[in-house]
Amino acid sequence: MRVPPERLRRWIEVLDHVEGYARLLRRRLGPVAVVLHGSYARGDFNLWSDVDVIVVSPAYRGVRPLDRYEATPTPPPGFELIPWTPEEARLQLARPAWRQALARGHAIVVDEVGLADAIAEAGLRPAWLRELRARIARPPGPRG
């Protein structure tokens, strides 16, 4: 994958922030799944792109959706969170719009709640952040 150096630095910086935030979420919420999706997962981000992150946690059970933002550690600037319970995640994966969104690009940062299995059951191949990092770190091959 050929990426201009400045853009590559920004991409790697964002991935580092996502991983650091996932560690914080695990400490504060317990078992979680954290998924990067959208332009930073696909690589087509721009200067105005936000960092789209799905947070799936059993700790959200019984918590009203808007109150989940207060129960969730403050994300780094530019992050857009979607907090779901594991049950809600499975319901959302049954919706064509979410399947399509994740099919276009996602990277699982951590999964301690079985989200990768739910993604596979929805007919998608679970993609992991380590795979994304390996792909962007690989030197470009010869043109031909």
Task: Give yes or no for residue 1 having a pLDDT over 90.
Answer: no
Superfamily of domain covering 5-125:
Beta Polymerase, domain 2 (3.30.460.10)
Task: Give yes or no for residue 2 having a pLDDT over 80.
Answer: no
138's tokens: 């690989």
By the 10 Å C-beta count (0-12 exposed, 13-18 middle, 19+ buried), 12 is classed as: middle
Under DSSP, the state recorded for 31 is: S
Host H or E run for residue 24: helix 5-29
> What pLDDT, on a 0 to 100 scale, did the predictor assign at position 144?
46
By the 10 Å C-beta count (0-12 exposed, 13-18 middle, 19+ buried), 76 is classed as: middle
Instruction: Work out the mean pLDDT of the chain and round it to a whole number.
Output: 94
For the stretch 77-102, pLDDT in tens is 999 999 999 999 999 999 999 999 99
Amino acid sitting at position 121: E
Per-residue confidence band for 15, with pLDDT thresholds at 50, 70 and 90? very high
